């Protein structure tokens, strides 16, 4: 089980503003690293569209506390403070700038 083997990883933030690509921030405690997981990658992996819970969103900048999947009832919900398993799915190059690249991650909630 990935959750029992996992080092401590927690969702520490969510940015679903209109200014930047939507993302979820995950904190790894050992090593102390923050990882950005893009919602578009989670959308593709879970075949749904993640949207902020409108009852748990703060401020005009789209700071979310919880995101919900639309279109796939089996896809997980993510919330700040949730323990997750982080897995690398792929590596990609940005379409607009071929000099930049990034890792594509998947998150699995640990219950």
Give the pTM: 0.80
In the chain, which stretches have pLDDT less than 50?
Answer: none
Are 45 and 76 a contacting pair, CB within 8 Å?
no
Could you tell me what percent of the chain has a pLDDT over 70? 85
- So what's the pLDDT on residue 14? 79
Question: Closest by alpha carbon to 47, among 21, 76, 79?
Answer: 76
- So what's the pLDDT on residue 74? 93
4: DSSP letter: H
- So what's the pLDDT on residue 57? 64
d(CA 106, CA 82): 14
């Amino acid at each position: 089980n990935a959750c029992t083997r996992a080092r401590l990883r927690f969702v520490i933030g969510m940015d679903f503003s209109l200014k930047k690509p939507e993302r979820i921030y995950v904190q790894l405690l050992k090593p102390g690293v923050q990882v950005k997981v893009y919602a578009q990658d989670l959308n593709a992996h879970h075949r749904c569209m993640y949207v902020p819970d409108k009852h748990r969103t703060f401020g005009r900048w789209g700071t979310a506390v919880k995101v919900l999947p639309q279109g796939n009832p089996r896809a997980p919900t993510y919330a700040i403070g949730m323990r997750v398993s982080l897995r690398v799915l792929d590596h990609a190059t940005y379409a607009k700038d071929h000099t930049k690249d990034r890792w594509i991650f998947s998150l699995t909630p640990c219950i």
